[in-house]
Amino acid sequence: MIAIIDYDAGNLTSVARALTHLGYKNQITSDTETILAADRVIFPGVGAAKATMQTLQKRGLNHVLTDFYRTGKPMLGICIGIQILFEHSEEEDAECLGLLTGQVKKYPTDTKTLKVPQIGWNEVYQTRTHAIFHGVPNPAHFYFVNSYYPEPKKEDIVIGKTQYGLEFCSAIAQDNLIATQFHLEKSGRVGLKMLNNFLKIAS
């Protein structure tokens, strides 16, 4: 069973529908025992880093996510789910989970051509081989909705990059943890392909 973390964010049902379409049993849940017993966990959603962390802390889910990561079972973050993995976000000066070293920064706003937030399709270039990209063209277009981007301290965890005013990290992988800045569940065939790849990755 795949646990989808419930923290009152939008877009959770879109991910659930995508998993059901792919033929996988899933549950949107905030229950500690259910999450830790799951075969894998997905942390998706849209929202602000500080509000997200406050909800996670209120429900004790910050510790549950850390504990699940330590089990070695596959874990996937999507959109805000990549940003809260790092130590700090410039968005309202939010302290995040700290599972990954680095920070989340705001796109530059001193340009007339760059619209913030970034909303729409953009290219993702694979920077190294990973099972999550199996059968996915390089580059490929994915759907983004975001005003901030992750800046990992360790370059070797970066598996995908995107250009939007600057070149930024749009996909990471560290041990059993994978995360994307773009919305897999809204990215058509290639997004579903990546979700399916994640669901087939062994612990």
Query: Could you list the active site residues?
Result: 79, 183, 185
**How many residues are given for the chain?**
203
């975001």: which residue's tokens? Answer: 146
**DSSP tag of 48:** -
State both tokens at 181: 């800045």
The SS3 call for residue 140 is strand
Dist. CA 181–CA 142, nearest whole Å: 10
Q: Which of 149, 140, 118 is nearest to 184 (CA)?
A: 140
